[in-house]
Amino acid sequence: MKTKTLLASCIALALAGLTAAVLHNSDSAADNVADDQLTAAGALAVDPAAAARGAYVSAQADCAACHTKPGGPAFAGGYGLQTPFGVIYSTNITPDPQTGIGRWTERDFFRAVRHGQRKDGQRLYPAMPYNAYVKISDADLHDLWAYMRTLQPVQQAPTPNTLGFPFNIRQTLLGWNLLFFDNTPFVSQPEQSAQWNRGRYLVDGAGHCSACHTPKNLLGGDTGRYLQGAELLGSYAPEITGDHYRGLGSWSAEQIAVYLKTGANHQAIASGPMGEAIEFSTQHLSDQDLTAIAEYLKSVDGSKTTPPPAIAASEPIMQRGAQVYELNCMACHNVNGEGLPGMVTGFADNPGIRTPSAANLVGTVLKGGQAVITEGNVTGAGMPSFDWKLSDSDIAAVLTYVRNSWGNAAPEVEAQAVTRTREHLGLQPAMKNHF
């Protein structure tokens, strides 16, 4: 009898805990501070100062990058976000009454941004990073709403998502939120400096850095390896903690800030998804905020990686890689991998070169790359493609060589991995007799 009573009590406690978690993760009562009458298309004048501050919050949150399709009108949606479960298309967030958010109130906007709930009550997919935006303050979100109301309305219907079953059923997001959505606001840590807290607020909130740089589980939720690098559908978002071997520990706060401001520094050149983030977001942030972000990132412990032994230069793959490097790479990246600060990536002692995955390097060698162009660095140098010239084994060899020279050490790049990437990108095999 006592055993049954104990079991019943345990079950009751478990159900109570589950119910509390559901209620906690569904609670949007904090959004009651927002106006629940005036809509985005309302005629009441917007405070210019609030709208200006909101434009800055929009830059912090990188709203334009995701809600503007290439060549399309700003903030009108239609950008396809590739996920392991299918393509999710961003929505129109201009104040158009028919296809945008023109009929939304400020509270509707708060609930969507911070709690992933549309005006009709349906759940948003976490490709919209509300699990980070929940950290945005009331004041900042109010200013962002003011800015959104000043946008030019654009009539553009949303593009249907291409998610397969069961991910196309939005009710499943209740379970996802229960497991992975932490419905708590940002709380400053009084033992830390104001600058450190500001950096953490931007990184964990509007900046939503974890969306790319924290590894995900099979359901797309964050794992416990905060900012320690993650696979991204054929590319790799590197570790951005204070770890010295794979993170940002070897960079000064100033070097991190310069990279975020201009897209280039003494060692690294931004392109691809990070280039977009810098183009639309971080280059527009104040120097003070960029320094705060850098201070915070350098304080995160990270993976504490123990450097592996480098592959010996006498190994055949290293010798072949050295030959390929001399004939194809040395002219730009220099004899000892120094690169050209602000223009050409430096390989020597570069944490971005020795990431666990070589996916970024393989893709760049195959199809080339284009550095982001910013107000602080208008050069935007490009790298040519080598898919037509180098075989898969030669690309594997030269990348293995680069990843194990000049202070670097990392696993060998296999030719089969290059072949898979070549096929995924739809590239033709290299020409024969390429030397």
pLDDT, tens digit, 9 for 90 and up, residues 107-133: 999 999 999 999 999 999 999 999 999
More confident residue, 10 or 67: 67
Residue 323, both tokens? 């030959």
Residue 395 burial by CB count (10 A; 0-12/13-18/19+): exposed, middle or buried? buried
In single-letter form, the type of residue at position 218 comes to: L
What are residue 345's phi and psi, to 5 degrees? -55, 135
What is the structure's pLDDT at 380? 84
At 214-226, the pLDDT tens digits run 999 988 899 999 9
The reply to whether 194-299 and 316-425 are identical in fold is: yes
pLDDT-derived band at 234, boundaries 50, 70, 90: confident
* CA–CA dist 161, 79 (Å, integer): 11
Indicate the domain borders of the chain. Answer: 26-151, 194-299, 316-425
* β pairing state of 369-370 and 235-237: unpaired
Give the pLDDT mean for 4-22: 42
At 301-339, the pLDDT tens digits run 999 888 899 999 999 999 999 999 999 999 999 999 999
* CA–CA dist 206, 132 (Å, integer): 7
For 194-299, the fitting CATH number among 1.10.357, 1.10.760, 3.40.50, 1.20.1250 is 1.10.760
User: Would you say residue 19 has pLDDT above 60?
Assistant: no
Bridge partners, residue 269, by sequence: 264
- What is each CA distance from 416 to 40, 68, 388, 389, 426, in whole angstroms? 53, 36, 17, 17, 15
Bridge partners, residue 374, by sequence: 377
Q: Is the distance from CB of 387 to CB of 366 less than 8 angstroms?
A: yes
User: Would you say residue 10 has pLDDT above 70?
Assistant: no
What are residue 375's phi and psi, to 5 degrees? -65, -30
Mean pLDDT for the chain?
Answer: 90
Alpha-carbon dihedral angle through residues 335, 339, 344, 349, given to the nearest 10 degrees: 120
- What is each CA distance from 396 to 110, 328, 332, 343, 371, in whole angstroms? 48, 14, 19, 24, 23
Residues whose CB is less than 8 angstroms from the CB of residue 124 and which lie 6 or more positions away in sequence, other chains included: 112, 116, 117, 118, 130, 173
**Would you list the DSSP string of 110-129?**
HHHHHH-B-TTSPBPPTTS-
What is the structure's pLDDT at 43? 80
Residue 251, both tokens? 């960079």
User: Would you say residue 15 has pLDDT above 90?
Assistant: no
User: Would you say residue 168 has pLDDT above 90?
Assistant: no
Give the pLDDT mean for 162-177: 85
Helix, strand, coil percent values for the chain (each to nearest 5): 40, 5, 50
Residues whose CB is less than 8 angstroms from the CB of residue 345 and which lie 6 or more positions away in sequence, other chains included: 267, 268, 269, 333, 339, 352
Span 316-425: which CATH code?
Answer: 1.10.760.10
What are residue 238's phi and psi, to 5 degrees? -70, 165
Give the three-class secondary structure for 105. Answer: strand
- Of the candidates 408, 381, 383, which has an alpha carbon nearest to the alpha carbon of residue 263? 381
What is the structure's pLDDT at 26? 60
- Of the candidates 157, 148, 137, 254, which has an alpha carbon nearest to the alpha carbon of residue 201? 137
Residue 8, both tokens? 């019943």
